[in-house]
Amino acid sequence: KEISPMEIISQAAQRQQYIDQAQSLNLQIPSTMPVKDVNYLYIEAWKKGVKTLYYQRSSSVSKEMMVNFVTCTACEA
Q: For residues 48 and 11, is the Cβ–Cβ distance under 8 A?
A: no
Query: Pick the residue with more confidence: 54 or 43?
Result: 43
pLDDT value, residue 54: 81
Strand partners, 52: 24
Q: For residues 4 and 45, is the Cβ–Cβ distance under 8 A?
A: no
Q: Which domain holds residue 25?
A: 5-75
The domain tally of the chain equals 1
The alpha-helical segments, DSSP class H, found in the chain are: 5-16, 35-47, 61-70
pLDDT value, residue 74: 59
Query: Pick the residue with more confidence: 77 or 43?
Result: 43
Q: pLDDT confidence of 33, banded at 50, 70, 90?
A: confident
45 pLDDT above the threshold of 80? yes
pTM: predicted TM-score of the whole model, two decimal places: 0.66
The mean per-residue pLDDT over the stretch 43-67 comes to 74
